[in-house]
Amino acid sequence: MTSYIDSSALLKRYVAEPDSAIAAEFLDADPVLITSWVTAVEVRRNLARLLDGAVLRQARAQFNRDLDGFALVLCDEVVMLTAAEIGETLGVRSLDAIHLASARRVRDDQLTFVTFDLRQAQAARSLGLTVRGA
């Protein structure tokens, strides 16, 4: 199985939130994890917003180690143009559109999209993606 991990799912690994245990199960169960480079921006921003001091430094260091194990989708012209179309068509937020376009760029019919964002999950389903989490 291959999973595309959205920032909302990955953040739960570093910050105790509802469904953190479920997110950890999804992340630990799949040997092939994919995300967009935009995840680096989103997760680091949210870590800095939610944590501080030594806890922040530890979470950031763990995130950087984890990210090294992911296959990362570049935010290239194809992804960005697809994201623009998804944003216009589905009315999702810009970063959500980039994640959805990145998942589509993978071109894997067996790909599972992992998110805990309800609006993004609905958009992913409307694009024909299999969704876990929300």
Going by pLDDT thresholds of 50, 70 and 90, the confidence category of residue 134 is: confident
Token pair belonging to 54 = 């030594």
> What are 71-88's pLDDT values in tens digits?
999 999 999 999 999 999
Cβ count within 10 A of residue 85: 12
Asked if 28 contacts 132 with a C-beta cutoff of 8 angstroms, the reply is no
As a dihedral over the C-alpha atoms of residue 51, residue 118, residue 108, residue 64, rounded to 10 degrees, the angle is 0
Any idea what the CATH number is for the domain that residue 86 is in? 3.40.50.1010
Q: Which amino acid is at 131?
A: V
pTM: 0.93
As a dihedral over the C-alpha atoms of residue 73, residue 117, residue 3, residue 64, rounded to 10 degrees, the angle is 60
What is the pLDDT, as a whole number, of residue 87?
97
Task: Write out the residue range of the structural domain in which residue 56 sits.
Answer: 2-133
Going by pLDDT thresholds of 50, 70 and 90, the confidence category of residue 93 is: very high
What is the pLDDT, as a whole number, of residue 52?
97
Going by pLDDT thresholds of 50, 70 and 90, the confidence category of residue 32 is: confident
52: Cβ contacts below 8 Å, ≥ 6 apart: none
| Count of domains for the chain | 1
Going by pLDDT thresholds of 50, 70 and 90, the confidence category of residue 30 is: confident
